[in-house]
Amino acid sequence: RFSDRFDLYQRFAIAITTPPYDGGTYSNPTVVQPRLRGTTLSYDFILLKNFADPNTPIVIDSDAEIRWVGTAGVGSIASILFDNAFYLTSGTSLLRTDFDGITTPVADYSGIGVTGFHHNIDPGRDGMILDVDTVDQTESVNLEVDAAGNVLRTWNLAEIISAAMIAGGDDPSQFVYPAPTDWFHNNACAYRSFDNSLIVSSRENFVIALDYDSGNIKWILGDPTKHWYEFPSLRQFSLKLAPGTLPPIGEHALSMSGDQLLLFDNGAGSEFQQPPGETRDYSAPRKYQIDLGAFEATETWHYYADPSVYSPFCSSVYEDAPNNYLIDYTLGGPYVYTGIVGLDALGNVAFNYQYEELAFCGTAWNAIQIHWEDLKLQ
């Protein structure tokens, strides 16, 4: 009978004493502004992409409390929450850490010429987009892989741009270089479903949009005082800038906000390509409307910190629900702190935390909202 079976179960209350967790700077941020009481945000949890300590990734909540620490024993610049697990990189391998703490090697890409990973793992149309170095190219090749690590497609920006330059009558050897020269410096990708585009950030040059399947160049958004604009073959793809619109310079963290492009505009000119273009004395998240009919980009939103912040390298901005932003400032010159700032839908600063900068961009070179409620217990 049910009552007989029910009598077999009892509840016990057991107190387990554990030492307090010491997460170093992650446990001891400088709280410039605690989360405002009554502020409504669309997210509560934040993935900090850290690599200074072997505990990638770290998840905090919007009150700056640590909620998860990576168990793979790896300090990896690249990580993502995907397919109900954390994916991160080590050497030439992609790893998966499940929520039971077990880390499993997913795939090793050395057999196809990959020598390592850099920067980000971004969501693509059909899987995850990895930023890889190869024996031939530095920071200019992307792989899309599925949850099992299978390669779905490859974009080699050196080949794509060289082909376009040759077709346009220019010499690509004046712009595209073999490894180990970091002529492109890819640091982020975004899938634009609106027109089936892959949008790629090249810190040295521009933001470039490709047809997702063919790889053909659709448009370029960037500073016209940089080296790329001197080539007619590339200049023909340049979007016009609407009045009052500033081009991104040294940008990071591309993503789509509806059909608009969101990015972190670092404001730092090129390091390798000459002329390096403009360098500003401040950084700002920006959003752009891309009008392909008019072949024009219009800046529709930006955020200027007060006082202003100059974060020339790394850093990010992502939008969760409309106008719910998360900004990561990884300051430089010299590196002083990492700032994590939330903006609510009314434009208010919902919280502002500062962490000690551990190595070059190592504390959190990028930070993004995540949703535990999307997880499925298996």
Whole-model pTM: value is 0.92
Q: How confident is the model at residue 36 (pLDDT cuts 50, 70, 90)?
A: confident
Q: What is the DSSP string of 102-170?
A: -EEEEEE-GGGTEEEEEEEEEE-SSSEEEEEEESS-SS-EEEEE-TT--EEEEEEHHHHHHHHHHHTT-
On whether the CB atoms of residues 155 and 146 are closer than 8 A, the answer is no
On whether the CB atoms of residues 253 and 261 are closer than 8 A, the answer is no
**Segment 94-152, tens digit of pLDDT:** 999 999 999 999 999 999 999 999 999 999 999 999 999 999 999 999 999 999 999 99
Q: Is residue 71 predicted with pLDDT exceeding 90?
A: yes
Using only the alpha carbons of the chain, give its radius of gyration: 22
CA dist 254 and 366 (Å) reads 11
**Segment 309-343, tens digit of pLDDT:** 999 999 999 999 999 999 999 976 555 789 999 99
CA dist 170 and 157 (Å) reads 16
Q: How confident is the model at residue 8 (pLDDT cuts 50, 70, 90)?
A: low
On whether the CB atoms of residues 355 and 26 are closer than 8 A, the answer is yes
**Pairing mode, if any, of strands 260-265 and 58-61?**
unpaired
Q: 54: number of CA atoms within 13 Å, CB side?
A: 5
Segment 23-39 mean pLDDT: 91
**Segment 188-243, tens digit of pLDDT:** 999 999 999 999 999 999 999 999 999 999 999 999 999 999 999 999 999 999 99
Q: Is residue 18 predicted with pLDDT exceeding 90?
A: no
Q: Can you say whether the dihedral through the CA atoms of 164, 168, 173, 174 is positive or negative?
A: negative
CA-to-CA dists, residue 183 to 13, 118, 138, 246, angstroms: 61, 15, 8, 23
Q: How confident is the model at residue 4 (pLDDT cuts 50, 70, 90)?
A: low
